[in-house]
Amino acid sequence: MTAAADSSSSLSSGSPPPGSSTSPSFDTLGLTASSLGAVKRAGYTVPTPIQERAIPLALRGRDVVGIAATGTGKTAAFVLPLLERHAHGLSLILAPTRELALQIAEHVERLASRRLKMAVVIGGVGMGKQAADLRGSPQLIVATPGRLVDHLQQGNARLDRVTALVLDEADRMLDMGFRPQLTKILARVPRQRQTMLFSATMGGEVEQFTRQHVTDPARVEVSRSGTMAPRAVQQVFLVGQEEKTALLLTLLAEDEESTLVFTRTKHRADKVTRWLERSGLEVARIHANRSQNQRVQALEGFRSGRYRVLVATDIAARGIDVEEIGHVVNYDLPHVPEDYVHRIGRTARAAASGRASSFAAPDEVPLLRDIDRFTRTPVPRAEVPRDSPVFQTHARAVRDAPQAPRHQGHPRAHRQPARVLDGARPTPRSPGGGSVLFSGGPRRRR
């Protein structure tokens, strides 16, 4: 992972704090010499706007609610103050996905100016080493909520020493149904603590959660909730479901950019991956049915360039830390508008530019309207290149391909169980609160 990733990149955009007339510098944020040395060794030069405004507040002990677009350096905005203020206590960082938790742990290791005892607690791997690390009096825990609750229930972890709590991508955790797990964790954490909450979006459920669990927070909002990555060139194609694969292959033939493709379900991810492999593309996939080792290998292969295309469900939307993703494709529109912001944020990270293409079938047009309202700017519509020989060739291949037999057996056998992530069974949410349900039946596991 390079220093140009989420917590490290220098941005030329963004305004300095009121009254500031000088260029932003880590030297002016109140960091100690040892932290400044770690920042320099990590290759970080100029703080991003969220870092410039949040770090001084956090160093003073304030509770902080930070809102900034994906890829603008939120991770370092809370990691650096934790490493300074709570070196002799226990800091707890919660993240919604395994990938994001691992990404945060890498940033902690890069920015720590001294040896640090850290426990990384995620699902998909054995609990033995995690239990040993938790019993070894760690100074910092990075965890997904479900797996941490597993350890609490087994007596492996104690949180009564926590002096600082960070919720990264809190909206995602709540959207994924982790409120019961968060409630159990917060019941074990001292009320007297520093709390920081960071995200790219700030919905009503997060506002309510903040009022209940964060004390008089300083609100740092360097971009309005729902603001898109400014350098992402967006377009949406109004296309039939049966044309999506041909359109994807046509777009991939236009350039050699690294491409991240989002699908709604695991089954769709597998199906799209098979089509891309048949077309001779180097492709990997990541979703909830893939083992942790398979997910790590897919991300590392995509990051290194071994795979040009990564097909993913939203489980990976907040945990892909890749320096240069040239193109993000929404093969399926997300049911939650906030997820569109985070998907698009995977390209045009930091000072880079990128392209974002979305496919909207007729039954997805209401979702597109929701996205337009949430982002306050309609996504530009693009023409489907149906006259293109490339598109026509792919469309024929898709149309003439043998169809896989429909699932036979028990009439309910095709239905997926409730989504389980990192050992937790998320609580279903109402259609008005962020949709576990959608037209056509229960939302499938991702």
Joined tokens for residue 118: 């850290």
Same domain, residue pair 191 and 79? yes
> What's the pLDDT score for residue 321?
64
Same domain, residue pair 356 and 215? no
pLDDT: which is higher, 58 or 204: 58
Residue 11 lies in a domain: no
pLDDT: which is higher, 316 or 369: 369
Tens digits of residue pLDDT in 103-160: 899 999 999 978 889 999 998 889 999 999 999 999 999 999 999 999 999 999 999 9
Please state whether beta strands 309-312 and 259-262 pair in parallel, antiparallel, or not at all (unpaired). parallel
Tell whether the model's pLDDT for residue 438 goes beyond 60.
no
Of residues 279, 246, 273, 242, the one with CA closest to residue 260: 273
Cα separation, 59 vs 49, whole angstroms:
16
Report the Cα–Cα distance between both ends of the chain, in Å, rounded.
26
Q: Which of the residue ranges 43-47, 248-252, 343-347 has the most confident prediction, judged by mean pLDDT?
A: 248-252
Joined tokens for residue 343: 């998907």
Question: Do residues 154 and 121 lie in contact, with contact meaning Cβ atoms separated by under 8 Å?
Answer: no
Residue 86 lies in a domain: yes
* pLDDT band for position 65 (cuts 50, 70, 90): very high
Q: Tell me how far the alpha carbon of residue 332 is from its chain's centroid.
A: 17
Same domain, residue pair 250 and 211? no
Same domain, residue pair 170 and 35? yes
Question: Do residues 104 and 78 lie in contact, with contact meaning Cβ atoms separated by under 8 Å?
Answer: no
Other Cβ atoms within 10 Å of 435 Cβ, number = 17
Same domain, residue pair 215 and 255? no
Tell whether the model's pLDDT for residue 424 goes beyond 90.
no
Other Cβ atoms within 10 Å of 109 Cβ, number = 12
Mean pLDDT of the residues in the chain? 81
Question: Do residues 126 and 151 lie in contact, with contact meaning Cβ atoms separated by under 8 Å?
Answer: no
Residue 404's SS3 state is: coil
Same domain, residue pair 46 and 167? yes
> What's the pLDDT score for residue 387?
94
Of residues 299, 302, 312, the one with CA closest to residue 101: 299
Tell whether the model's pLDDT for residue 7 goes beyond 60.
no
Q: What b/e readout covers 220-241, taking b as 16+ CB neighbours within 10 angstroms?
A: bebbebbbbbebbebebbbbee
Read off the pLDDT of each residue in 169-192 and give the average, rounded to a whole number.
89
pLDDT: which is higher, 315 or 430: 315
Residue 95's SS3 state is: coil
Same domain, residue pair 69 and 216? yes
Same domain, residue pair 342 and 201? no
Same domain, residue pair 245 and 382? yes
- The CATH number of residue 98's host domain is 3.40.50.300
Residue 21's SS3 state is: coil
Read off the pLDDT of each residue in 314-326 and give the average, rounded to a whole number.
67
> Which DSSP symbol is given to 8?
T
Residue 92 lies in a domain: yes
Domain count, the chain: 2
Q: Which residues contact 231 (CB under 8 A, 6 or more apart)?
A: 348, 351, 352, 353, 354
> Which DSSP symbol is given to 364?
G
Same domain, residue pair 159 and 306? no
Strand partners, 120: 142
Cα separation, 340 vs 395, whole angstroms:
27
Same domain, residue pair 199 and 259? no
Residue 236's SS3 state is: strand
- Choose one of 221, 252, 274: the last residue of a domain: 221
Residue 274 lies in a domain: yes
> What's the pLDDT score for residue 177?
81
Question: Do residues 72 and 3 lie in contact, with contact meaning Cβ atoms separated by under 8 Å?
Answer: no
Q: Is 309 exposed, middle or buried (0-12, 13-18, 19+ CB in 10 A)?
A: buried
Q: Which domain does 240 fall in, by range? A: 232-398
